[in-house]
Structure 1
Amino acid sequence: MMDKQLDALLHQLTAVEKVQQQTHKYVQDLPDDTIDASNDDFISLNNRHFFKNKDIYVSKHNRYAKYPLHTHQFLELNYMYSGHGVEYIDGKRVELNAGDVVLLNIGSSHSLEALGDDDILINILFRNKDIHLDLLDKLYDSDSILFNFLMNTTTKDQTEPLFIYFHKHGDSDVIHIIDTILSEYYFSRNFSNQIISSYLPILLITLVRDYQSEIMNKSKQRLNDPVMLTVLKDIEKGYATVSLQSVAKELNYNRYYLSNLIKKKTGQTFTELLNQQKLLQAQLLITSTKLPISQIIRQVGFSNKNYFYNKYQQKYGHLPTETRNRNV
């Protein structure tokens, strides 16, 4: 029953599609503060609109008009729910049929040809913080192409943008997983956001297992960096108590050398990475529990309440109480 409801919802004309169906001209439907730069040929998007109160953003691509060339600072997964589509990614023409998936890196530029009545393309946007480091570790052990792709987005050490094309071959659980994500997103219930976040690593692993993957634009330099993987895993698992000193001791590195190495590899300091993880955990507790904010601050490892509020507002654009009220 839910599948029929989802199918009907996705084929239903949106307000933008009604205009585009008549004019066949692209209609800009994003808030102005989401666009960093724009001209007739190119659009640069930021994260503001897409991740205000969600870890993952899902949308249906509007049909009947060509979508202009654009780039963004988040990872994007394009899923051809039905029909057929054509997009140009970093100058490469990619045809998508029902069941096909494309994973685009941060900084990739792409445009899409106009879609027809039954051409339903789904966009799933996420930031690389949503990729669990245990997943990367498993993929690293298997020398996966996906590991190198995802690690490149994490460390910013890539030499050129990447995208991976997954062509559907026979039956796959990928379609069921994405349909589940879509149902949770469009027919939201309690904990839907947490369920969607949990399905993301399952989706990525299943893509590797079930689909024949092709690198359409390889990086000139493979990145297999166990040191950075250790640093990121220690931050992820021990965010409340971990320190640069403890990680340096574990790796048998000089603390100042490790600090400089982290900055060079990631573009961020150890403290900045640690604060990102603490804030992520704080937001998760704020949206999924009724714990007092003061208790959450202590639980995630912040010792200064004012510092926490300042950093939280910088990251999410509002205070923790507003996050909780929005979630309710």
Structure 2
Amino acid sequence: MDIYHVGEALVQRQLVAKKRQVKGTWLNLAPANSLLTPTLDAKLENEDGRRHRHQSPRPTLLYLFSGTARVTTQQVQLPLLSGNLVFLAANTPYQVDALKAGDVLVTLHLPADQSLLQLLPATSAGESVPVIQRIIADYHQWHCARFNGNKIADSAYITERMICEVMAPTQFGAARMPHFFQLLLIELLRQADYAGAPQSLPARHVTTTELLTYLDENYDVSSLTMMAQTFDYNPNYLSNRLKAATGKSFIQLVDDRRMHVAVSLLENPRISVEEIVNYIGYSSKSFFYKKFKQRYGQSPSELRQLLITEQKGKLIS
């Protein structure tokens, strides 16, 4: 795999996991029995609409490939933008807020002897010493360090190169990894990307449009509780706000979107009703039939036949 296709591969894994409703907080990126795993283990945060909690016995590097994310550790919040990196000390508990569509967060578990403090270069350059001393002091206090890298910086290229190596190992891959780690820290220092001590995120007003967009993108896997966690709202407050803005409850809004997608899928005779039920997030085929008939006055099979007949009529005319 080359670096130009790593994004496509990451997003594809995320989409497949979401469609299959894969449980768990991480998606493995390394092939089974990879020789690289003791040196570098890479995982993809599961974009399942849930807030995830983690704690690893190994030093951890978080890399936001795209979108935005928010990580909380030691009672502070770390807002991340595309290209940002966060180093976490071993055994540091942290939490990743629910990701939205387009948010791609990769977790790299480093060897025990490759924590941030071991990776910092020894230097006598006067301009580097104060920054390194500040990083060391902050890391001892907060057990984490955030770097404001961006997608066009060398730090992003090196990190994505490591991700490629994990996903598709090549010859001498394990031998290259320690050098990638060291080079990454050097580039971050050269780019002057250290973000300083962690700071809390300011409160942000969430618009009704954002709430409805979230439902459009996550109707198949989301619950009221999960959505409330995503936006840091109380579930009752969120329910009342949706009702006031749309005149419909959360369940009604989700059902609207599920039924709309179901009808569009029924137009394709190659997709079975069972596949549609799974795709739109219903766990029971009989429950789906009941809800569908209540809304449209006919069964999915009957509506499918009507839609196919209408399509044929349009083609003839």
TM-score by length of 1: 0.49
Tell me the equivalent position of 1:182: 163
**What is the Cα deviation at residue 68 of structure 1?**
3.2
Residue 263 (structure 2) aligns with? none
- Counterparts of 1:1-328 in structure 2 under 5 Å? 2-13=2-13, 16-20=17-21, 27=24, 53-130=37-114, 136-138=121-123, 142-143=128-129, 145-146=131-132, 158=140, 160-168=141-149, 171-216=152-197
Greater Rg over alpha carbons, structure:
2
2:135 and 2:163 map into 1 onto residues whose CA distance is 24
Is the CA contact 1:99–1:168 (under 8 Å) kept in the aligned structure 2?
yes
1:9 is matched by which residue type in structure 2? A
Instruction: Tell me the CA shift for residue 128 of structure 1.
Output: 4.1
- Structure 1 distance, partners of 2:135, 2:111, is 14
User: 1 CA distance for matches of 2:92 and 2:58?
Assistant: 9
Checking the alignment, whether the CA contact within 8 Å between 1:79 and 1:122 is kept in structure 2 is: yes
Aligned-partner Cα distance in 1 for 2:138–2:37? 26
What's the CA shift string for 1:59-83, capped at 9, x where partnerless? Answer: 2111123343332322111111011
**What SS does the aligned partner of 1:206 have?**
helix
| Distance across 2 between alignment mates of 1:191 and 1:51 | 10
**Which whole-Å CA distance do the structure 2 matches of 1:52 and 1:187 have between them?**
10
Cα deviation code 1:141-178 (max 9, x no counterpart):
8425546756998xxxx5x4421111136842111111
Whichever residue aligns with residue 199 of structure 1, its letter is F
* Paired residue type of 1:178: T
- Taking the aligned partners of 1:152 and 1:128, their CA distance within structure 2 comes to 20
Distance 2:151 2:46 in 1: 28
**Structure-2 separation of matches of 1:215 and 1:80:** 18
CA contact (8 A) 1:55 1:130 kept: no
Instruction: Report if the CA contact (8 A) 1:16-1:27 is conserved.
Output: no
Q: Which runs of 5+ in 2 are unaligned?
A: 200-317
CA offset at residue 100 of structure 1?
1.0
Q: CA deviation at 1:107?
A: 3.2
| Partner Cα distance (2:36, 2:55) in 1 | 19
TM-score normalized by the length of structure 2 = 0.50
Corresponding residue number in structure 1 for 2:239: none
Checking the alignment, whether the CA contact within 8 Å between 2:43 and 2:107 is kept in structure 1 is yes
Query: Between Structure 1 and Structure 2, how many residues are aligned?
Result: 192
Q: Distance in 1 between matches of 2:162 and 2:49?
A: 26
Q: Which amino acid aligns with 2:179?
A: S
Q: Say which SS state the counterpart of residue 102 (structure 2) adopts.
A: coil
Q: Aligned equivalents of 2:34 and 2:74: distance in 1?
A: 22
What is the Cα deviation at residue 52 of structure 1?
A: 8.6
User: For 1:211 and 1:7, how far apart are their aligned partners in 2?
Assistant: 26
1:269 alignment counterpart: none
Matching residue of 1:256: none
CA distance in 2, matches of 1:179, 1:161: 26
Instruction: From the superposition, tell whether residues 95 and 19 of structure 1 become closer, same or farther in structure 2 (CA, over 3 Å).
Output: farther
Residues 63, 115 of structure 1: 8 Å contact kept: yes
Question: Paired residue for 1:310?
Answer: none
| Structure 1 unpaired stretches of 5+ | 32-48, 219-328
RMSD, matched Cα:
3.7
Kept in 1, the 8 Å contact 2:25–2:45? The answer is: no
1 CA distance for matches of 2:8 and 2:26? 22
Contact 1:17 1:64 in 2 (8 A): yes
The letter for the 1-side match of 2:7 is D
Q: Distance in 2 between matches of 1:181 and 1:117?
A: 24
* Structure 2 residue matching 1:116: 3-state secondary structure: coil
CA 1:216–1:66: 2 relative to 1, 3 Å:
farther
User: What amino acid is the match of 2:165?
Assistant: E
CA distance in structure 2 between the partners assigned to 1:51 and 1:149 by the alignment: 32
User: Per the alignment, do residues 69 and 203 of structure 1 end up closer, same or farther by CA in structure 2, a change over 3 Å counting?
Assistant: same
Specify the code of the residue in structure 2 equivalent to 1:168.
G
Higher relative contact order (CA 8 A, sep 6+): 2
Q: Distance in 1 between the 2:39 and 2:182 partners?
A: 13
